Copies of this chain bind each other. A is one copy, B any other.
Amino acid sequence: MAGSTFGKNFTITTWGESHGKALGVVVDGCPAGLSLCEEDIQTYLNRRKPGATRYSTPRREADEVQILSGVFEGKTTGTPISLLVPNTSQRSADYSEIASYYRPGHADYTFDEKYGFRDYRGGGRSSGRETIGRVAGGAIAAKILKELGIEVCAYTKAIGPVSIDMARFEKEAITQTATAMPDRIASAEAENYLSACMAKQDSAGGIIECTITGMPAGIGETVFDKLDARLAGAVMSIGAVKAFEIGDGVAAAKAKGSQNNDAFYADESGVHKKTNHAGGILGGISDGDTVILRAHIKPTPSIFQEQETVGRDHENRTVQIKGRHDPVIVPRAVVVVECMAALTVLDLLMSNMTARMDGITAFYQK
């Protein structure tokens, strides 16, 4: 019950530490007959790879994925897909000092309390490198969703005080800007803000937004496995996420019913909503509209300023963190949010296939 498995139908079980031999994931429940090669996964991993810009850790990792099982002659076989990414640039010496104290904003103290000790090299399992398994697994989920006409797209919405202007939304910019913002002008501003933070040995947080388009209506279960509940659990399980919103989110709590309700209308193509305050989900079930969610991410806790803390010996002391750290986590976390959303949606799409007697009957009569 240590919770390293995500999902019920399409599951990922992730493993690996920042400075171990490798990290990886076992994907179970992937349907047979999907074309799959390393490149499908590598594309996603490259989006979270360190060292790409001056706002990410200078640690250089190839992060090259290997498919070890579950694929035969270019097709998934229906059996577990084991994906492995070797660690190649561990410099454990950088971290040896961390062994002796608790970094503020990190999991050093809580791991020690829970387990009695910890793998202090680069945060061990609490490192952002843990997300490699999520992204590798999520890449497969996203590929399946694309075959079903569903697209998941995440991007940076804000860094510190700098927000994008949706009127300037340019999808290609997401993978071209250093900030993963789809607005090149806001991105340049955000870069200035980050430079100022770095100059003061400080760090920044921000907001990631994610849209899911092409969703069929009916996805999500009625009570505990609501689509929004499962998305919330998935996205909040990413380290550093401190808040989660669906649709209008926090703004909805301030609105009146007459403002927040989305009127339905019908045309020849079916039933639609005039607005989308709901973020594509009603009663926990997709309504066919675009699903919109946001993750609020705290500033990188590793800052180079001197900080007050406590040693493992429980003596008060000050520390100055060294090593390689991103001044902002947001741009590299964009693909992680996208992948967790894809995994969640696919898992619930699979659940939904048994929701109706006529669907089951049709399946077994084929």
Contact = CB atoms under 8 A, between A and B. Distances in A.
16 contacts: A1-B11, A1-B221, A3-B223, A3-B225, A17-B77, A33-B115, A104-B264, A105-B257, A110-B285, A114-B218, A202-B256, A224-B234, A228-B236, A232-B244, A242-B247, A271-B310
A243 B253 contact: yes
Nearest to A330: B253
Interface stretch (A124-132, A166-174, A176-184): A124-132
Contacts of A316: 265-266
- Stoichiometry, as copies per complex, reads 4
B308 A278 contact: no
Contact of A33 (B5, B30, B358): B358
Interface stretch (A43-51, A52-60, A63-71): A63-71
A357 B74 CA distance: 14
User: Taking each of A205, A261, A281, which has the highest tally of chain B beta carbons within 10 Å of its own beta carbon?
Assistant: A261
A305 B26 CA distance: 39
Q: Which bracket fits the contact residues of A? A: 35 or more
Contact of A253 (B207, B257, B260): B207
Given A5-B11, A265-B316, A308-B265, A355 B114 contact: yes
A226 interface: yes
Contact of A3 (B14, B207, B221, B366): B221
B13 A357 contact: no
A98 to B, nearest CB: 13
A151 interface: no
Contacts of A197: 256-257
Interface string A223-249: 111101111111111010111111111
B109 A300 contact: no
A242 B233 contact: no
Nearest to A262: B104
B256 A125 contact: no
B125 A79 contact: yes
A354 interface: yes
A95 interface: no
B242 A236 contact: no
Contacts of A30: 2
A263 B104 contact: yes
Given A5-B5, A114-B285, A242-B249, 18 more contacts: A1-B1, A2-B225, A3-B28, A4-B223, A9-B354, A17-B70, A23-B69, A26-B26, A32-B117, A77-B118, A79-B222, A109-B271, A113-B287, A160-B254, A249-B296, A253-B298, A264-B308, A353-B353
